[in-house]
Structure 1
Amino acid sequence: MEVLKEKFGQFGSQPVHSFTLTNEHGMEVTAINYGCIITKINVPDRDGKFENVVLGHDTLDEYVNDPYFLGAVVGRVAGRLKGGSFELDGKHFTLVQNDNSNHLHGGLKGFDKVVWDAKIIDDGVLFSYLSKDGEEGYPGNLYIEVTYRLNNDNELSIQYRVQTDQKTLLTVTNHSYFNLSGNLKRDVLNHSLQLKSSRFLELDDEFLPTGRMLDVKDTPFDFTKGSMVKTGVDSNHPQSVLVGNGYDHPFILDESHDDEIVLKDSESGRILTVETDEPAVVVYSGNSLKEEGNFRGVPSRKHLGICLETQNYPDSIHHPHFPSMVLDKGEMYSSITKYKFGLE
């Protein structure tokens, strides 16, 4: 395994570097220590042609000004928190409100908008960050490590390890937009997605969970046997229309952890298999990508990428029947998601 470190830019007084992981087959994963952003993943198609399969930019300034959380680790809490506030042990905490009156993806200065420490390890890179008590309104000094590893099975693993000195909230994810066509030649509407998920969370008109878990059967949310992404985009299902024609929904994952999420592009032959120990995945079909700006010269447009955000149920602090996102003092949060690239 090779890891190449290069200067990528400067964020104020802090240097930002890129780290390119390369395995023996030539697969490459590049990430920067600003936001732990994955900038490129180069994998072969069925003809052996290596191309990039995530949305990204070539300059730091573009990432600093990016509104889409491209490739970043988001937190302390991924997703939306209703009203930008919550209570813990009788204490009320008010967070930064950056999505109307709600808190989204950690706020204005979440994990995606800071420079992390970085250390090269044998098979990857370890990023670390100390989120200080009160940052974006959260209680507790929280220390987080995110490790990106690449192996010779063309598998990228992302491991999160977190501790806090005060009770706080936590659920983190990576916000990469995948497009298996290669170098964004096509949108993702003809990608096929399969999920081991029989239920999804209903959303209200602010994209927050209502608390209801809906059965996927006989809906465009049924990916149990595989379905095209365009199924939801073309649907008149109220939940699909609500989020801008497509998906931005948490799917509750079944217990197995094997081949839980499979994304395919039949034209290139590329397959992405995702396995996680998180209880849910938010499938976001890029409905809010605007027709302005570009990604390495490819004009931005709706449905140019799809996010597979493995995490806890969003806004679970306000829904006692959801799995808890409370992290106690001294407790170790540990989670891992694996992304394996192959061919059909």
Structure 2
Amino acid sequence: MYFLYLGFKTILLITIQPFSETRDGQAVYSVKLKNKAGMEAHFLTYGAILQRLIVPTGSTKTDVVLGYEDLGSYEEDNYFIGQLVGRNANRIANAEAVLDGKKIQLSANEGKNQLHGGFESFGKKVWSVTDLGDAVLFTYTSPDGDEGFPGNLETKFYVKLEEDNTLAMRYEATTDKETIVNLTRHEYFNMDAASGNGITNHQLQINASAYLPKTSQNVPSGELKAVADSPFDLQKPVNLKEHIAALDGGFDHNFVLNEDRDDAPAAQLISPDGKLKMELYCTQPGIQFYSADGIADFEGKYGKIAGNCPGLCLEPQHFPDAPNHEHFPTTVLKPSQRYEHDIRYTFSYE
């Protein structure tokens, strides 16, 4: 899925302009992409945050992601809203891992664990941006020792809007020391946010016949468990309300994507009225589904969303705590290797 080399030129309007400054005086830019069909993706160079994702819906348009109007709110945000997450998505138990035969100690920002790369991870950094004509390139180099991770990690994040209303994204990363890399996105999707409603009446399907049970530390036990006959069975589109209510605290679990899904999406999300659909495609083995039960009365760019579950996250990634489970797909990156990862959000409206 190498979206930059499709052999044709997309008609795309790209606008890069000043947005604000961080508290320590770094300039932050707004990066807007718009395709011929009228779909728009608005990123910030702060955290490579997706501030808006505007999709044509008949005679109107719908912004399908939560966010804020101002940079200060993103700097204060603790929910990773709209961020590019790295160096490591999700949790590493006890903030420890073994690399090249040696134990390394990472920063612990969630009790004893590390979550989403540490205290000041990729979503809190200012990225450089380049207009490539039919795509945009964000770059950031994480220094050796950043949040405990060894190696200078050069990360590239490509973004393109395609004419079929697809937001196509690609990650590439290289390192000069053996390290851990597991990058993802942290959009909070809500196809009905402007009405003030949460996501419990959305429909969701995840193409996964197994998920990863968790320990009391909120990290995988190492078991792969079948979703059948449980609230985790999302193999067909289901209304989320009952499934979320069936779990104490809702969903914050990693689903093991079926390897034989061929060209089928890894997940699809459907609006409450059934008209707007997003299909998510990715090249990673898992998706973390977070129903945001712990976020109450969220207030963002469209006012307040009452109650819990204001949005939901679908985070394509390697499995949580992979460095501590030998049977999980590895997240170790060596200097001789290149990390590559693709995500696509494709929208349709009927």
TM range (shorter): over 0.9
Gaps of 5+ in 2: 1-11
The residue type equivalent to 2:333 in the other structure is: L
Query: Counterparts in 2 of 1:98-113, with a 5 A limit?
Result: 98-113=109-124
2:166 is aligned to 155
SS of 2:80's equivalent? coil
The residue type equivalent to 1:249 in the other structure is: H
Aligned residue-pair number: 336
Match of 1:280 among 282, 286, 295: 286
**Per-residue deviation, 1:44:** 2.5
Q: Is contact 2:91–2:114 with CA below 8 Å preserved after alignment? A: yes
Which sits farther off after the overlay, 119-128 or 162-171?
119-128
Q: Is contact 1:294–1:300 with CA below 8 Å preserved after alignment? A: no
Which sits farther off after the overlay, 293-302 or 168-177?
293-302
1:224 and 1:64 mapped to 2: Cα distance?
37
2:28 is aligned to 16
**Per-residue deviation, 1:206:** 2.1
Match of 1:128 among 130, 135, 139: 139
The structure-2 alpha-carbon separation of the partners of 1:268 and 1:123, relative to structure 1 and needing over 3 Å to count, comes to farther
**Per-residue deviation, 1:280:** 0.4
Match of 2:184 among 160, 168, 173: 173
1:291 is aligned to 297
**Per-residue deviation, 1:182:** 4.8
SS of 1:183's equivalent? helix
The residue type equivalent to 1:189 in the other structure is: T
Q: Is contact 1:289–1:300 with CA below 8 Å preserved after alignment? A: no
The residue type equivalent to 2:117 in the other structure is: G
**Per-residue deviation, 1:168:** 0.3
SS of 1:202's equivalent? coil
Alignment pair present for 1:267 and 2:273: yes
1:72 is aligned to 83
Deviations 1:143-189 (A, max 9, x none): 00011110111000110000000000010100000011253542111
2:256 is aligned to 252
SS of 2:197's equivalent? coil
Deviations 1:252-299 (A, max 9, x none): 111225222111014161100001110000011111213364444224
Alignment pair present for 1:51 and 2:57: no
Large movers: runs of 4+ above 6 Å: none
2:235 and 2:299 mapped to 1: Cα distance?
35
Coordinate RMSD, CA, aligned? 1.4
Q: Is contact 1:44–1:270 with CA below 8 Å preserved after alignment? A: no
1:216 is aligned to 227
Which sits farther off after the overlay, 177-186 or 29-38?
177-186
1:8 and 1:229 mapped to 2: Cα distance?
36
The residue type equivalent to 1:254 in the other structure is: N
Identity of aligned residues (%): 34
Which sits farther off after the overlay, 203-212 or 55-64?
203-212
2:215 and 2:64 mapped to 1: Cα distance?
32
Q: Is contact 1:69–1:175 with CA below 8 Å preserved after alignment? A: yes
2:346 is aligned to 340
Q: TM-score, normalised by structure 2?
A: 0.93
**Per-residue deviation, 1:123:** 2.3
Deviations 1:125-153 (A, max 9, x none): 11000000001110000000011110111
Match of 1:93 among 76, 96, 104: 104
**Per-residue deviation, 1:300:** 6.1
1:293 and 1:49 mapped to 2: Cα distance?
23
Which sits farther off after the overlay, 64-73 or 11-20?
11-20
1:319 is aligned to 325
